């Protein structure tokens, strides 16, 4: 009997939610030594199973009017996964691949990520299968207004506090918050994070996930390789919020950013991207809302259609996947390892699939930091935004940056301290997050 057989009922019950099961299995693998513990193993298993069941999943219809005057419908969800450490906290994703299983995987990850930040936040996630690509400004606004009209009754600064994720940036948070205020007549409360600076947002929230990822990368490279980021070749995937600010911070530390990508193709900068290139990418994605292929011939790099940073044979030291789940599969991981990658540090949630993780683990000497630790800076600064909102104060950019650096260093320390004998950073991250949640659930009498 395998030590993870106790998950069999869950596997059967949720066989239609493969990404959720993947997140659960990955976590469980890293927790195996705890489950085998003679004294507490049975408790840890019970606690883990309890954590896999969301406290609440809210599902609703989102009607919205398109530019031709037709009413369209999408599905919306909010997975209120676990509130033992504080209000449900986690982003909203707008993408055609969203369903309750995807949001359950994201919400599950969020529980342990939020625990690692050390702030009082529970885990949640939400979103819709609405596809913002190709939609007009008015269509996106009308969708957001309708989405919030359904969701607002479940939100409160001490109950559930959403933020952005794929397809939800400052523009969408503005529309959502605007409708929340109109419906509730409540002002200035931390009911959403990622707000604009002059209407209750925190300095550095837009940058926080990417910057935090690079602070973590810098620490890992210094501690594990005895090197700095200067001149290190870094492959970044994605070109959205996380990829942009990770690239910006990498350039700031003198590293070479050799790729960014979108779902259609990849820009390759053999000698490293310049500041001008980064500005062009930001303008393309944030203002024009266009594809990277529109930059072909306009930046110092070359555009390769239909490929990703992980499908090309290239030499780089570090891989920072910042696009989406399962973007690095077994073949990609074998390519990375063959090309001598020294570290994989995740900006996205679950970008490395189970087979790829095994390839990396088997190589033995590749630094691997899972997203729940390395991308926690985003939700961490969201937590700081909630604190500022409660105090009706705004801290300076420098104050928030210094707290973000401390938070990432603290998460690194938790990974090292919890990894156990011969354990990896990945095991450390999962154990540290899990133990906090398990102990709190025991204290509250939610599991015994």
Ligand X SMILES: NC(=O)C1=CN([C@@H]2O[C@H](COP(=O)(O)OP(=O)(O)OC[C@H]3O[C@@H](n4cnc5c(N)ncnc54)[C@H](O)[C@@H]3O)[C@@H](O)[C@H]2O)C=CC1
Q: Which two tokens stand for residue 49?
A: 């199973």
Residue 275 assigned ligand-binding role = no
Residue 166 makes contact with ligand X by CB under 6 A: yes
Q: Which of 125, 249, 285, 372 is catalytic?
A: 125
CA 127 to chain centroid, in Å, comes to 14
Is residue 262 within the footprint of ligand X (CB under 6 A)? yes
Q: Which of 128, 241, 418, 419 binds ligand X (CB under 6 A)?
A: 241
Of positions 76, 167, 309, 383, contacts ligand X by CB under 6 A: 167
Do the beta carbons of residue 409 and residue 116 sit within 8 Å? no
Tell me whether residue 164 is annotated as binding.
yes
Handedness of CA 156, 161, 167, 173 (dihedral sign): positive
Identity of the residue, 184 or 311, whose beta carbon is nearer to ligand X in the bound complex? 311
Binding ligand X (rule: CB under 6 A), the pick from 82, 114, 247, 375 is 375
Q: Which does 343 bind (CB under 5 to 8 A by kind): ligand AKG, ligand X, none?
A: none
Residue 257 interacting with ligand X (CB under 6 A) = no
Rounded distance, CA 174 to CA 18, Å? 33
Beta carbon of residue 399, minimum distance to ligand AKG (angstroms, whole number): 18
User: Does 165 contact ligand AKG by CB under 6 A?
Assistant: yes
Secondary structure, 3-state, 88-134: EEEEEEECCCCCHHHHHHHHHHHHHHHHHHCCCCEEEEEEECCCCCC
Q: What number of chain residues touch ligand X (CB under 6 A)?
A: 24
Residues facing residue 80 across a β-bridge: 56, 124
Residue 347 found at the interface with ligand X (CB under 6 A): yes
Q: Which of 78, 89, 104, 403 binds ligand AKG (CB under 6 A)?
A: 89
Give the count of alpha carbons within 13 A of 258, CB side only. Answer: 18
Beta-carbon contacts of residue 391 (< 8 Å; ≥ 6 apart): none
d(C-alpha 374, C-alpha 215), whole Å: 9
Pick from 52, 193, 308, 414 the residue near ligand AKG by CB under 6 A. Answer: 193
For ligand AKG, the closer of residues 76 and 301 by Cβ is 76
User: Does residue 200 bind ligand AKG (CB under 6 A)?
Assistant: no
414 binds, among ligand AKG, ligand X, none (CB under 5 to 8 A by kind): none
Closer by beta carbon to ligand X, 323 or else 407 = 323
Nearest to 298 by CA among 283, 277, 278: 277
Report residue 338: phi and psi, to 5°: -60, -35
Residue 89 binding partner per list ligand X, ligand AKG, none, with a CB distance cut-off of 5 to 8 Å that depends on partner kind: ligand AKG
Only one residue has tokens 């979103």, namely: 127
Q: Is 349 in the site for ligand AKG (CB under 6 A)?
A: yes
Question: Which of 52, 114, 117, 239 is close enough to bind ligand X by CB under 6 A?
Answer: 239
89 is in an annotated binding site: yes
Whether 209 has a binding-site annotation, put simply, is: yes
The answer to whether 350 touches 109, Cβ cutoff 8 Å, is yes
What residues pair up with 367 in beta bridges, in sequence order? Answer: 343
The reply, when asked if residue 101 is annotated as ligand binding, is no
Using CB under 6 A, count the residues that bind ligand AKG: 13
Q: Which residues contact 370 (CB under 8 A, 6 or more apart)?
A: 26, 346, 352, 426, 429, 430
Residue 178 burial by Cβ neighbours in a 10 Å radius (0-12, 13-18, 19+): middle
Q: Is 288 annotated as a binding residue?
A: no
Residue 152 and residue 231: Cα distance in Å, rounded?
Answer: 47
Structure tokens that stand for 213 in this block: 């990822």
* Contact partner at residue 90 from ligand X, ligand AKG, none, CB < 5 to 8 Å by partner kind: ligand AKG
Ordered strands of the 122-128 beta sheet: 56-65, 71-82, 122-128, 88-94, 160-164
Residue 239: strand, helix, or coil = coil
As measured in angstroms, the least distance from the Cβ of 297 to ligand AKG is: 35
Q: Does 54 bind ligand AKG (CB under 6 A)?
A: no
74 binds ligand X (CB under 6 A): no
Please choose, out of 60-68, 182-190, 217-225, 240-248, the segment that lies near ligand X by the rule CB under 6 A: 240-248
Is 125 among the catalytic positions? yes
Upper half-sphere CA count for residue 163 (Cβ side, 13 Å): 33
Range in contact with ligand AKG (rule: CB under 6 A) among 18-26, 44-52, 89-97, 225-233 = 89-97
Q: Is 356 in the site for ligand X (CB under 6 A)?
A: no
Active-site residue set? 125
Binding residues for ligand AKG (CB under 6 A): 89-91, 110, 113, 163, 165, 193, 349, 375, 378-379, 382
List residues forming the annotated binding site for substrate. Answer: 89, 110, 113, 164, 382
List residues forming the annotated binding site for NAD(+). Answer: 209, 241
Binding residues for ligand X (CB under 6 A): 164-167, 169, 209, 238-243, 261-263, 322-324, 327, 347-349, 375, 378
């Amino acid at each position: 009997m395998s030590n993870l057989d106790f998950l069999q009922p869950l596997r059967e019950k949720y066989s239609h939610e493969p990404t959720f099961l993947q997140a659960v299995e990955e976590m469980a693998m890293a927790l195996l030594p705890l489950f085998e513990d003679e004294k507490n193993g049975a408790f840890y298993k019970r606690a883990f199973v309890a954590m896999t069941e969301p406290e609440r999943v809210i599902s609703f219809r989102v009607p919205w009017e398109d530019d031709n005057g037709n009413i369209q419908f999408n599905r919306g969800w909010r997975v209120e996964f676990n509130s033992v450490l504080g209000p449900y906290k986690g982003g909203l994703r707008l993408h055609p691949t969203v369903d309750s299983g995807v949001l359950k995987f994201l919400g599950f990850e969020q529980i342990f990520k939020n625990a690692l930040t050390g702030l009082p936040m529970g885990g949640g996630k939400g979103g819709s299968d609405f596809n913002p690509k190709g939609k007009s400004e008015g269509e996106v606004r009308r969708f957001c207004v309708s989405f919030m009209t359904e969701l607002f009754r479940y939100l409160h600064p001490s109950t559930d506090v959403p933020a952005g994720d794929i397809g939800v940036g400052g523009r969408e948070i503005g529309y959502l918050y605007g409708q929340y205020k109109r419906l509730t007549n409540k002002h200035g409360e931390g009911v959403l994070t990622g707000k604009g600076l002059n209407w209750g947002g925190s300095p550095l929230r837009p940058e926080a996930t990417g910057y935090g990822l690079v602070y973590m990368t810098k620490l890992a490279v210094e501690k594990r390789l005895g090197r700095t980021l200067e001149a290190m070749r870094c492959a970044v995937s994605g070109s959205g919020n996380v990829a942009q600010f990770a690239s910006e911070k990498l350039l700031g530390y003198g590293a070479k950013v050799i790729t960014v990508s979108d779902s259609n193709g990849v820009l390759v900068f053999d000698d490293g991207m310049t500041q001008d290139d980064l500005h062009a990418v930001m303008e393309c994605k944030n203002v024009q809302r266009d594809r990277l292929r529109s930059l072909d011939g306009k930046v110092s790099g070359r555009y390769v259609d239909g490929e990703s940073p992980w499908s090309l044979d290239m030499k780089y030291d570090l891989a920072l996947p910042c696009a989406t789940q399962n973007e690095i599969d077994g073949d990609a991981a074998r390519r990375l390892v063959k090309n001598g990658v020294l570290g994989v540090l995740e900006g996205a949630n679950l970008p490395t699939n189970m087979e790829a993780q095994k390839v990396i683990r088997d190589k033995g000497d590749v630094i691997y930091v899972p997203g729940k630790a390395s991308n926690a800076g985003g939700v961490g600064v969201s937590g700081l935004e909630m604190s500022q909102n409660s105090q009706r104060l705004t801290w300076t950019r420098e104050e928030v940056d210094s707290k973000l650096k401390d938070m990432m260093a603290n998460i690194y320390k938790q990974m090292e301290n919890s990894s156990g004998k011969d354990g990896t950073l990945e095991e450390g991250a999962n154990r540290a997050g899990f133990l906090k949640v398990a102990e709190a659930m025991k204290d509250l009498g939610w599991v015994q």
